[in-house]
Amino acid sequence: MDWWVSMPKVELHAHLNGSIRDSTLMELARELGDRGLTHFPDVERVILKHDRSLTEVFKMFDLIHILTTDHETVTRITKEVIEDFAAENVVYLELRTTPKKNVSKGMNKKSYMEAVLEGLRAVSTVEVDICSEPNFDCSASAAIYARNNECASNGTGKKKIYVRLLLSIDRRETTEAAMETVKLALEMRHLGVVGIDLSGNPIIGEWLTFLPALEFAKEQGLLITLHCGEVHLASVH
């Protein structure tokens, strides 16, 4: 395992909310439980269960969304996730997340993403590169890692992790909401946003709902990745 950890790695499928530390989830859940907003023992069982069906996976994501509804928490989990990937010697990371709205917390999609960026800037254990480079070749990551590792070991600089962001369209969203996410991605291209993701519970929503937003994203030069094949075709609308 030491050898695997020491290898430079490229991570192309990381969900922000799917990469949160269990310890952080437990802490957040306990705080809500103390305030009477959740029943902590029930939440604890969900968090600690590791052998999950697809239905249980999305129940887990629903729980995580309840626990990560304010800007401060979004910033914290982003910082921790980057630190964890860097500790495993991931040198190029594509991190996807669904911009969320929470009126009660004063959160809109843009402020959510600003909280994510604040988390990236807060990382101190490694240098985080978020500036988008259209021609960046992630296949050169091993050389990048070797160079940065040598600089770090010589005391001449920190190791570096290249982070690029994908904004996710949730399959529960409307066409208008999906288009809002694409326009936000275009607005934030200079801040490391390189593409659009379609994700969420695969048994919810219809493909034609998201097609206009995805076509618009493609026309504007954004990269697109899709979650598909997660359920039998007969159950997909």
The residues that are catalytic are 230
N residues, the chain: 237
**Beta carbons within 10 angstroms of residue 142's beta carbon:** 13
How distant, in Å, are the alpha carbons of 3, 7, 81, 94, 167 from that of 90?
13, 8, 11, 10, 20
CB contact at 8 A, 202 and 230? yes
What tokens were used for 129?
């590169």
Burial class (CB in 10 A: 0-12, 13-18, 19+), 28: buried
